[in-house]
Chains A and B, each alone.
Chain A
Amino acid sequence: MPLLELSDLRKRYGGIVALDGADLALEAGEVHVLIGANGCGKSTLCKVIAGSVLPDSGVLRIDGAERRFRSPREAAAAGVGVFYQELSLVPSLSVEDNLLLGREPRRFGLVDRRAVRREAERQLALFAGALGPELAPDSRVADLSADQRQVVEILKVLGEDARLILFDEPTSSLDRRQVAIFFELVRALKREGRTVVFISHRMDEIFEIGDRVSVMRDGRVVETTAVADTDPGRIVRAMVGGEAAAGGAPGAAPGTAPAPARPGDATLLRVDGLSAPRVDGVSLELRAGEILGLGGLHGQGQSALLRGLFGIEPGVRGRIEVEGRPLRRPTPADSIRAGLAYISGDRGRDGVALLRPILENLAYGLVTREGGVAFPRGRVAGRLGPVVERLGLRFGSLSDPVRSLSGGNQQKVVIGRWLATAPRVILLDDPTKGIDVNAKADLFRMVRELAEAGAAILLYSSEDGELLGHAERVLVFNGGRIVRELSGEGLTRHALNEAAYATPGATPGAEAGAAA
Chain B
Amino acid sequence: MSAQNPSASAAVRRRLGALALHPLTLALAAAVALLALGEAISPGFASPGQIVSQLTIAALLGMVAAGQTLVIIGGREGIDLSVGGVISLCAFVAGNLMAGTDAAIPLALAATLALGFAVGLLNGLGIVLLRIPPLVMTLGMTGVIQGALVILTRGVPSGRSAPALTALMNQPLVAGIPGVLLLWAAVALGVCLLLHNTAFGVRVYAIGANPEVARIAGMRPERIRALLFGLSGMFAGLTGFLVLGYTGSVFVGIGLQYVLPSIVAVVIGGTSLAGGIGGYLGTIGGAITLTVLQSLLITLDAGPAGRQVIFGLTLLVLLLLYGRQRGLRG
* Chain A residues packing against B (C-beta within 8 Å): 310, 312, 331-333, 335-337, 342, 344, 349-356, 360, 363-365, 367-369, 371-377, 403, 417
Contacts and interface: CB of A to CB of B under 8 A. Distances in A.
Given A350-B216, A377-B197, A364 B210 contact: no
Contacts of A331: 218
Given A333-B220, A373-B199, A376-B197, A312 B215 contact: yes
Interface of B: 196-203, 205-206, 209-210, 212-220, 276-277, 329
B215 to A, nearest CB: 6
Contacts of B197: 374-377
Nearest to A352: B213
B203 to A, nearest CB: 7
B276 A373 contact: no
A331 B218 CA distance: 7
Contact of B199 (A335, A337, A374): A374
A185 B217 CA distance: 43
A350 B211 CA distance: 9
B218 to A, nearest CB: 3
Given A353-B276, A356-B205, A367 B210 contact: no
A365 B200 contact: no
Q: Binding site of B, secondary structure by majority: helix, strand, loop or mixed?
A: helix
Query: Shortest 9 CB-CB distances between A and B: which pairs?
Result: A368-B218, A353-B209, A333-B218, A364-B217, A353-B210, A332-B218, A336-B218, A355-B209, A367-B199
Q: Binding site of A, secondary structure by majority: helix, strand, loop or mixed?
A: helix
A364 B214 contact: yes
A353 B212 CA distance: 9
Nearest to B274: A355
A353 B202 contact: no
A498 B196 CA distance: 54
Given A332-B218, A342-B216, A353-B214, A373 B200 contact: yes
A367 B215 CA distance: 12
Contacts of B200: 373
Given A352-B210, A353-B276, A312 B202 contact: no
B217 A354 contact: no
Given A351-B213, A355-B277, A375 B199 contact: yes
A350 B219 CA distance: 13
Nearest to B217: A364
Given A355-B277, A403-B329, A364 B215 contact: no
Contacts of A373: 198-200
A417 B206 CA distance: 14
A375 B206 contact: no
Contacts of B213: 349-353, 364
Contacts of A364: 202, 206, 213-214, 217-219
A470 B202 CA distance: 36
Contacts of A335: 218
A371 to B, nearest CB: 7
14 contacts: A332-B215, A332-B218, A333-B220, A335-B218, A336-B218, A349-B213, A350-B216, A355-B209, A355-B277, A356-B205, A364-B218, A364-B219, A368-B218, A375-B199
A360 B215 contact: no
A312 B200 CA distance: 21
A368 B217 contact: yes
B276 to A, nearest CB: 5
A224 B197 CA distance: 66
A168 B138 CA distance: 46
Contacts of B277: 355-356
Given A312-B216, A332-B218, A368-B218, A375 B209 contact: no
Contacts of B276: 353, 355-356
Contacts of A355: 209, 276-277
A367 B216 contact: no
Nearest to A376: B197
A354 B218 contact: no
Given A355-B277, A367-B203, A372-B199, A332 B216 contact: yes
B216 to A, nearest CB: 5
A313 to B, nearest CB: 11
Contacts of B206: 353, 356, 360, 364
Given A332-B218, A365-B218, 14 more contacts: A312-B216, A333-B219, A342-B216, A349-B212, A349-B213, A350-B216, A351-B213, A352-B213, A353-B209, A356-B209, A356-B277, A367-B203, A372-B199, A403-B329
Contacts of B209: 353-356
Nearest to A370: B199
Given A353-B276, A356-B209, A371 B217 contact: no
B209 to A, nearest CB: 4
